[in-house]
Structure 1
Amino acid sequence: MEIWNQTSNDFILLGLFPPNRTGLLLLCLIIFIFFLASLGNSTMIHLIRTDFRLHTPMYILLSQLSLMDLIYMSTTVPKMVVNYFSGQKGISFLGCGVQCFFFVTMASSEGLLLASMAYDRYVAICHPLHYPIRMSKRMCVKMIIGSWVLGITNSLPHTVYALHIPYCRSRAIDHFFCDVPAMITLACMDTWIYEYMVFVSIILFLVIPFLGITTSYGRVLFVVYHMRSKEGRKKAFATCSTHLTVVSFYYTPFMYTYLRPKTFRTPQEDKILAVFYTILTPMLNPIIYSLRNKEVLGAMTRSFPIFFSKKK
């Protein structure tokens, strides 16, 4: 059994994969996914920024989703990879605080942003005549700023709490990043107050937005079903299914992880579920939104003609 040096305030991240060939293979797969996700999200941001046809609320919100996904991955994956290859599992006290802050900020902000994107599609399909007023660029900017500000506001107390509670057990966190619920299992005090705070945060930033999204799309699908235009119906269904796919991949593992009583949770299961919302979903978002979106595909053709030129 390994004995960790506990003379400092630093933490130990036990990681995701064992130090063997299987672990190395899986880590290489994660690195490949990280590369694809970084490339895809960076491309989405570039296309939306440079192509004036994409300067609409829907795509501006989508560019923020890509930015959040980039920060999401960069907060967790690089440190995990460095620790694996170096054999050093440590993370500084400050570094752990930075991971906590950015992870909770992105988790909260992205949940609100996805709800904003659902509202945008709801207004566009159910109230098209009011769309320029309800979803003006000014309103879009307010939604974006609100998502970031509320995410940061939610993140600060979680981070401060995690860095100020006394740790009188091992400082070895059984995770691949500084996840606060995984950290408080090492505390030498009763943490029921914080567990209640986590529950409230999940309700406010995940459950309520999720219910809002499902309600909005329920109304949207009802309106779409009664559309006379077959082409309009097809396009609206494609938009709804695209967004609902993203929402499902993001919200389901998150809520399943944090809404369960801790007696039903295991570190290994929590780490596997965390891979979905920290690594896999950021990779899938740009793929889903680009391959199923004619406007984005058109912008890619205009921005990167060398890859889309047709032989005559």
Structure 2
Amino acid sequence: MAVTDNIPEHCPGPTTEQAGKASACQGCPNQNVCATAPKGPDPDLPLIKERMSSIKHKILILSGKGGVGKSTFTSQLGFAFSNDESIQVGVMDIDVCGPSIPKIMGLEGEQIHQSLSGWSPVYVQDNLGVMSIGFMLPNPDDAVIWRGPKKNGLIKQFLKDVDWGDIDYMLIDTPPGTSDEHLSITQYLKESVIDGAIIITTPQEVALQDVRKEIDFCRKVKIPIIGIVENMSGFICPNCKGESIIFAPTTGGGKKMAEDEEVPFLGSIPLDPRIGKACDTGVSFLDEYSDSPACKAYLDIITKIKAQIKD
């Protein structure tokens, strides 16, 4: 079950000797993870807490659905924060099997370097550092075929062995779902405090179904929800600025879901083909296309995020 103090009834807990073995564990999707995980207090948690103590704000970017634009949003949020040279920003990519952050942020082909104080992030600019398994692959097309324990070990290394330095905002890009990587990051940061999660969706019901599960996940593991962002909410023509609805919100879309779930709605980002172009070339969409309605939507959302996360 999820790593949380508020565990469901009859769950023996993920750190007990009966974890993954009790009758209540039968049929649980995390049964194998709990059964094979080391029992008792994790000796690395104090090391992670010490390393993370220099990071002011830790924000998870989540969505139960794949392909809704989590990595795109993470990268643009990172670029936007780093436009203020007085702010230090870190982006941690824990999508182990699909690491797209290096490509999106213009760092493809870069490698991690070791220093006396640990691994060094790869820097987009002086105040924007990135860490991803993508930097460790000899070929960007190589498949990462790992089971849970190895994924968890890498995430732990990103937290305790990377010399992030003093960071104002740490943005953690996650894979789809509510599985190994999500359980690991919440467990490892349990003593370091996560400020909250930004949950990305698209308007159609097939995405909203999975995103509701992500909201439920956050509540079960006690992660505050900063808000919902609806991505790809309509197509904006770069020339005439006319809008066409591509993914029709048959049940009201992200805003209606946020109202139903009683969580903040941060805003909608329209489709703009230049967002894809910016990601392919590894540049900031907000800098390159500041006249775009999508850029204004991003900036409005970022203002709301900053208002919720205060020093």
Q: TM-score range by the shorter chain?
A: under 0.3
Which of 1 and 2 has greater Rg?
A: 1
Q: TM-score, normalised by structure 1?
A: 0.22
Identify, as 1 or 2, the structure richer in strand: 2
Q: TM-score, normalised by structure 2?
A: 0.22
Identify, as 1 or 2, the structure richer in helix: 1
Q: Name the structure, 1 or 2, with higher relative contact order (CA <8 Å, separation 6+).
A: 1
